[in-house]
Structure 1
Amino acid sequence: MKHLKSIPLTMVRPDLHRIPSYALPSSHRVRNFQPGDERIWAQIEASVGEFGDEEAALKHFDKEFGAYAEEMVTRCLFIENEHGEAIGTTTAWYGSLQDDETRGRIHWVAIRPEYQGKKLSKPLLTAAMELLAQYHRRAYLTTQTTSYRAVNMYLNYGFEPLITTPDCMEGWALMETVLQRNITGSST
C-alpha cells in the first residue's frame, strides 16, 4: 500500500486467556535477551525502519531500557534462525493507559525484512503474550496504520481498538477499508 497515511493506534486486550498458539519452524527458536544483545536489538529495529540507523536505535534502547537490564533478560525475546542469527524481536513489557492500571505491553515487534512473510510473527507474538500472561491480567500495544498487516494480526489475537481521539477514529476507519473487515462495530 503506497502512501498510506500514518496514524497512531492503540489496541487493548481485555484479558490474557485463550492466546492463539503458533509454532515456529523446527529450524528456528525463541530465546531471551542476554546482556550485550542491545546492538542486535538495534540492528533489527533499524532494519525495519523504526530508526534512521543502528546508532539511533541503540541510543533509544539505552534511553528506554538501559535502566532495566535485568527485566530485559526475562521480558525481551528474539527469534533465531537455523544458524543462530537473531532475526526478530519483541518485548513483553508493561505500561499504563488512561486508567493508570499497569498492563502488559507488546512492544517493539520486528522481523528483519528478508525474513518477513515466513510465518514468524505469530509464533513470536504467541511467546510474548504467554510471557505477559505470567505477570499481567490485561495487555495493550501501540502501532500505526502503516503497519496494517500487523494490525490485522493483532485483531486476530484478540486485541481491540482503543478509541481516544478523532484521529484514531480516522485511523480505524482507514483500517476497516484497507483490511476489508468490520473492526469498530460501525457499519462502513
Structure 2
Amino acid sequence: MIDKTIPYVKFQMERNTSKKLPDRQLLVGYQFSFYTPGDERDWQAIETSVGEFDNLSEAQGYFQKNFVPYPDELEKRMTFVTDPSGKKVATCTAWWAKEGGPQFHWLAVMREAQRKGIATFLTVKVTALLEELYPDQPAMLHTQTWNYPAITIYQKLGYTFVSGTKDFEKGMSILKDIVRRED
C-alpha cells in the first residue's frame, strides 16, 4: 500500500543488466499471466486498491490514454498474478519511457495478497522481460517515498537511485527517517 502520510518525493532508479536476477517462484495455487483483453478492469481495480488512483474512473482514464493505444504491446508486456480463487491480485508492466528505453512500470499487489513474495516475483519477472526486450540497456523505474516498501525490493534486486533529480536529498532524508522509525 502507498503511504500518503509521509511527504511525497519522486525518485528514479536504474538497474544494470550485468547483475544476475535471482530465481523466484509463486506460492502454490498462484498463477502468472500476461494481459488479455478484458484485464483492464483488473488492472484498474488493483491499482486503485493500493492507492495509485482515488477511484476506478480515474484508473480507467489513465489506462485508456496510456495503454489502450498499444494492444499488441499490452499482451507481451503487462503481467498479472492470480490467486488460488482465480482473482487477479497483482500487476506490473514492462513498458518504455518517453525516451524509448526500458521502463519497469506500475507494480501493485492488493492488500490481501501482500507479504507472500508476489511483489518480488513480479519485480524479477518484469525486470527479466525488460532485459529480454532491451538487451544491454539498464532498466529504469520511477517510484516515490510513498512507496518505500517497494524501494527495498528494488534495491535488493540491484536497482540503484539516480541522484541529481529535484528534491533527491530531501527524499533520501525521508527514507532514512522511515528506516529509523521502523527499527
Query: TM-score with structure 2 length normalisation?
Result: 0.89
Question: Gapped runs of 5+ residues in structure 2?
Answer: none
Cross-structure match for 2:43 = 41
Give, as a single letter, the amino acid of the residue that structure 2 aligns with 1:135.
Answer: L
Query: In the alignment, is residue 152 of structure 1 matched against residue 152 of structure 2?
Result: yes
Q: 1:13 aligns with which of 15, 26, 34?
A: 15
Instruction: State whether residues 4 and 146 of structure 2, in contact with CA within 8 Å, keep that contact through their aligned partners in structure 1.
Output: no
Query: In the alignment, is residue 69 of structure 1 matched against residue 71 of structure 2?
Result: yes
Q: What is the Cα deviation at residue 178 of structure 1?
A: 2.3
Instruction: State whether residues 81 and 87 of structure 1, in contact with CA within 8 Å, keep that contact through their aligned partners in structure 2.
Output: yes
Cross-structure match for 1:112 = 110
Q: How does 1:1-188 map to 2 (within 5 A)?
A: 3-15=5-17, 17-95=19-97, 100=99, 102-136=100-134, 137-179=137-179
Identity %, equivalent residues: 30
Q: How many residues of Structure 1 are paired with residues of Structure 2 in the alignment?
A: 176
Q: What is the Cα deviation at residue 103 of structure 1?
A: 2.4
Instruction: Find the residue that maps to 1:176 and give its secondary structure.
Output: helix
Query: TM-score with structure 1 length normalisation?
Result: 0.87
C-alpha distance in 2 between matches for 1:6 and 1:105: 21
Cross-structure match for 1:184 = none
Instruction: State whether residues 27 and 81 of structure 1, in contact with CA within 8 Å, keep that contact through their aligned partners in structure 2.
Output: yes
Instruction: Find the residue that maps to 1:109 and give its secondary structure.
Output: strand
Structure scoring higher RCO (CA < 8 A, sep ≥ 6) equals 2
